Chains A and B, each alone.
Chain A
Amino acid sequence: EVQLVESGGGLVQPGGSLRLSCAASGFTVSTNYMNWVRQAPGKGLEWVSIIYSGGATYYADSVKGRFTISRDDSGNTLYLQMNSLRAEDTAVYYCARAVAYNGMDVWGQGTTVTVSS
Chain B
Amino acid sequence: DIQMTQSPSTLSASVGDRVTITCRASQSITVWLAWYQQKLGKAPKLLIYKSSTLQSGVPSRFSGSGSGTEFTLTISSLQPDDFATYFCQHYNGFPWTFGQGTKVEI
Enumerate chain A interface residues (CB-CB to B < 8 A).
37, 44-47, 50, 58-61, 94, 96, 98, 101-105, 107-110
Main secondary structure of the interface of A (DSSP, over half): strand
**19 more A-B contacts (CB under 8 A) besides A44-B98, A103-B48, A110-B43?**
A44-B87, A44-B100, A45-B38, A45-B98, A47-B89, A47-B95, A47-B96, A50-B94, A61-B1, A94-B43, A96-B44, A101-B91, A103-B91, A104-B34, A104-B36, A104-B46, A105-B49, A105-B55, A109-B43
Q: Which of A44, A60, A101 is most buried by chain B, counting CB atoms within 10 A of its CB? A: A44
Chain B residues near A107: list those with CB within 8 A: 43-45
B87/A105 in contact, CB under 8 A: no
In whole angstroms, what is the CA distance A45 to B43 when docked? 10
The size bracket of the interface on B is 20 to 34
Known: A46-B98, A47-B89, A47-B98. A103 touches B49 (CB 8 A): yes
In whole angstroms, what is the CA distance A101 to B53 when docked? 12
- Tell me the B80-100 residues at the A interface (CB within 8 Å): 87, 89, 91, 94-100
Q: Which single member of B38, B46, B96 contacts A105 (CB below 8 Å)?
A: B46
